[in-house]
Amino acid sequence: MSVGDVEDLVTLIRAYNPKSDSELIRRAHAYGEKMHEGQFRHSGEPYFTHPVAVAAILAEQQLDDASIVTALLHDTIEDTGSTFGEIEEKFGREIAELVDGVTKLTNLQLNSTASRQAENFRKLFIAISKDMRVILVKLADRLHNMRTITAMRPEKQVQKARETMDIYAPLAGRMGMQWMREELEDLAFKVLNPEGRASIIRRFIRLQRESGDVIHKITGDIREALDKAGVEAEVFGRAKKPYSIWRKMQEKEQSFSRLSDIYGFRVITETEDECYRVLGAIHRRWRAVPGRFKDYISQPKTNGYRSIHTTVSGRDGKRVEVQIRTRQMHEVAETGVAAHWSYRDGVRVENPFAVDPAKWIATLTERFDSGEDTDEFLEHVKLEMYADQVFCFTPKGEVVKLPRGATPLDFAYAVHTDIGDGCVGARIDGIRVPLWTRIRNGQSVEIITAEGQSPQATWLDIVATGRAKSAIRRRLREADRSRFIKLGRELARVAFEHVGRKATDKALATAARRLGLKDGDEVLARLGSAELVARDVVALLYPEAVPVADEIEVESAVVGLAHGQSFERAPCCQPVPGERIVGIAFRGHGVVIHAIDCDGLEEFAEQTERWVDLHWQPGNHPAVHTVSLDLTIANDAGVLGRICTLIGEQGANISDLEFLDRKPDFYRLIVDVDLSGVEHLHKVMTVLEADSDVATIRRLRDAGRKLPRPEEKVRSEGERDVQA
């Protein structure tokens, strides 16, 4: 809805809240307009049109005056000369704290490196826990920015769209604001994959031309079935958003023509009893699709969402998804936790299904503190934010909520850590199953334990929840701790003696403090497990004692070339410093260096006169030697970002990235990484191989990837000239 001036906004608010403090809204509007005077958006519009539009989005959700005023003022502290004290003086403490909270959220870089991202996510949830309305304002702010994103530079559009898809859309969904999640996802999809979105829309138009108005026909069929059953209800139908369709196509690996549930229908009743009567009428009229029934009325989601979902084979055999809920359930389904602050006829709405935000945020964050480092904390956050839930039962009938894809091991750790640690087997619905079995909605799970059992390292690849991963890692660390400490003590002794020092308890305690670790034993344990390098610990304490070698220039990296002779690394084997090498001479075009075991050398086996004996210059090489890594990683939220971060944390740069295969569970991709040598390569590959979301990793050495011959180079350059 477009809001032109302050009176339009006041009218919109008073329509649902006649007791609104209109004078407060007017004063906030006047103050915000004055503070943003002379500022303009990328589109050329006055900047204050943005805060007004954000306020209108919140008014459409029927939120309280404090939230509306915060929207009008949310950029004043950040972008103008306004201060917390000034806003507190003019509008009160509550609004000042809300504006300050939104300002702090705006400054958080949620797509930064893993350590920064973990700390910023922690700050995000602290801000939300103080007052949930700050995130409601921030989401409305992001929604309006995405609606007007075309005015931004293309690279900025991609950055904002990716951040929206990865963080803000899932967060809106986790808060129960499904309409906002869908719109944010679709707006981001429009930027990130405009061709994909356009193709979905074109297919929808063609389908409508071929089969007519399917929504109108099926809506009529449902109303007819309800009339026969004597149930009064409202029926609505809609085509699903293009991004929702695209995601289903990717997940199910199906073409648009084979995709069945591209339409969704909603039935709104007055009472809970009528919901089940509607369900009976629909199932009598059409055949239910097995495995597609969910009763969120008897088992609500933690964010208050209640509804019955069923899928049936409707008109012409088309699958139709139907959601059935009462009017009050529908209000919560549309606005999620925002329903707690919504008003009607001047009073806050007493909706029995709206969850208390304080309890909700406690549920969301209850397990975050169990993470022992930044990676584990991020894992907890993202699993809680992004995962859909399944509901299963203990043998006594108690409900356990787990993320989709969870296994009996996740179930065991959700019940109690000791049960998880001692797990040796499981039964689902009375049948013995492997521990890697994925639990489905409504199943009963029984865990079999045994004394003396302890977690296995392979369990990390089986479990899906942050709680289980954290508990397993902790027990594995404890089991290996004494061995790692003993090994780490020896590594530390050698490294310290190398610079004439001793690895005393005091020195190790100082290193632990600077590294943010518990104590000296933790430093030794991490040295022994290769999480820390002994030389780095020495350099941290005695930087003057650890010489820094000058980097070797790339031009002089290879020894054995004739004066003025140039060289290139062969793309088939991509040799790096530290590996044995040999050169193949090309007349007038220098030398191409290969690893001594490269299959590509077979081509020159009979031309020994062209072979040049070479070796790498000993010393400190810069990280400029590109190596291709073939990776298969889990297709989960945040995995690719974490893999890139891990590479960066090893001092390596990603120069290129190419997806070879995309599956619902896995991605296969080629990552080109710039490295200093073979030790650097080993370090990067070891770190990646240890990550539980990396299924396979190998160095890509392909004899088919050859340098073009000199004559091929000339021809290809000539072809480019002609084409240009």
Active site (catalytic) residues: 78-79
Strands 343-344 and 347-348: antiparallel
Q: How far apart are CA 136 and CA 141, in angstroms?
A: 9
**Which residues are registered as beta bridge partners of 402?**
390
Q: Which residues of 533-665 form beta strands (DSSP E)?
A: 558-559, 567-569, 581-585, 591-595, 611-613, 615-616, 625-634, 653-662
DSSP bridge pairs for 667 = 633, 662
Contact, 102 vs 138, CB < 8 A?
Answer: yes
Rounded CA separation 378/283 (Å): 43
CA angle 131, 137, 142 (to 5 degrees): 135
Which two tokens mark 210?
């071929």
Which amino acid, one-letter code, is at 33? E
Q: Across-strand partners of 295?
A: 308
Structure tokens that stand for 73 in this block: 């003022």
HEC per residue, 385-420:
HHCCEEEEECCCCCEEEEECCCCHHHHHHHHCHHHH
DSSP string, 109-132: -TTS-HHHHHHHHHHHHHHHHH-T
Find the length of the chain. Answer: 724
Report the number of secondary-structure helices (H) and strands (E) in the chain: 28, 23
Q: Say if residues 157 and 149 touch (Cβ distance below 8 Å).
A: yes
SS3 (DSSP) at 544: helix
H or E element, residue 273: helix 272-285
Chain mean position to CA 506: 41
Question: Please, what is the Cα angle at 306 between 304 and 307, to 5 degrees?
Answer: 160
Single out the residue of 254, 256, 282, 246 nearest to residue 267, CA to CA.
282
The HSE-up count of residue 428 (CA atoms within 13 Å, CB side) is 18
> Which two three-digit tokens encode residue 325?
């809920």
Do residues 612 and 559 lie in contact, with contact meaning Cβ atoms separated by under 8 Å? no
Record the tokens describing residue 71, joined without a space: 């929207």
Do residues 119 and 374 lie in contact, with contact meaning Cβ atoms separated by under 8 Å?
A: yes
Question: Which letter does DSSP use for residue 167 in this model?
Answer: I
The H or E element spanning position 424 is strand 423-428
> What SS3 state is found at 580?
coil
Token couple for 721: 């000239």
Angle, alpha carbons 514-515-517 (nearest 5°):
110
Instruction: Look up residue 415 and give its two tokens.
Output: 């019940």
Question: CB atoms < 10 A from the CB of 707, how many?
Answer: 17
Sheet of 581-585: strand order equals 567-569, 591-595, 581-585, 611-613
Question: How far from 165 is each of 170, 184, 201, 313, 386, CA to CA, in Å?
Answer: 7, 7, 20, 32, 11
Phi then psi for residue 256, to 5 deg, are -60, -40
Q: What is d(CA 319, CA 290) in angstroms, rounded to the nearest whole number?
A: 12
Q: Which residues contact 243 (CB under 8 A, 6 or more apart)?
A: 182, 185, 186, 188, 189, 197
